[in-house]
Amino acid sequence: MPAKTIRRTRQPVTTEALEQEVFAPRAQVPYGCERRHSFTLTFAVDAPAPSHWDCPRCGQLAARQDSAPAPAPQPKPVRSHWDRLLQRRTIPELEELLAERLREMRGQA
């Protein structure tokens, strides 16, 4: 098994050189919210920066300022109790349950 040769430079390693080696190249991405708060986030160049970010001052959605404004992410559709109920039961089943409950209530009254 051949021994690996470890090359060492005789030059002392500067902190700048070390930083370049340790950290991936980064990009400053400006964001701004509707209340005109602006802030900058740092992302690695190879990681795509998100189009929106929560404003650290007011919590509103802030849009990226360095590119064409992207459409705001669509909120999830709100599902009502009725929608969830319909996932578990069919209408005939619900009608049957309702009739059963009504019989019970009328019987007790």
Q: Which two tokens stand for residue 43?
A: 């992302």
**Judged by CB under 5 A, how many residues of this single chain contact Zn ion?**
6
Name the minimum Å distance from CB 50 to Zn ion: 16
Q: Which two tokens stand for residue 51?
A: 């189009």
Of positions 17, 27, 35, 54, contacts Zn ion by CB under 5 A: 35
Residue type, 49: A
Name the minimum Å distance from CB 59 to Zn ion: 7
From 32-40, 42-50, 69-77, 84-92, span contacting Zn ion (CB under 5 A): 32-40
Name the minimum Å distance from CB 102 to Zn ion: 53
How many separate helices (H) and strands (E) can be counted in the chain? 3, 4
Contact between 32 and 65 under an 8 Å Cβ cutoff? The reply is: yes
Write out the binding residues for Zn ion, residues 36-95 only, by CB under 5 A: 37, 55, 57-58
Name the minimum Å distance from CB 61 to Zn ion: 9
43 to 15, 26, 72: CA distances (angstroms) = 21, 5, 20
Which residues of the shown chain bind Zn ion in the complex (CB under 5 A)? 33, 35, 37, 55, 57-58
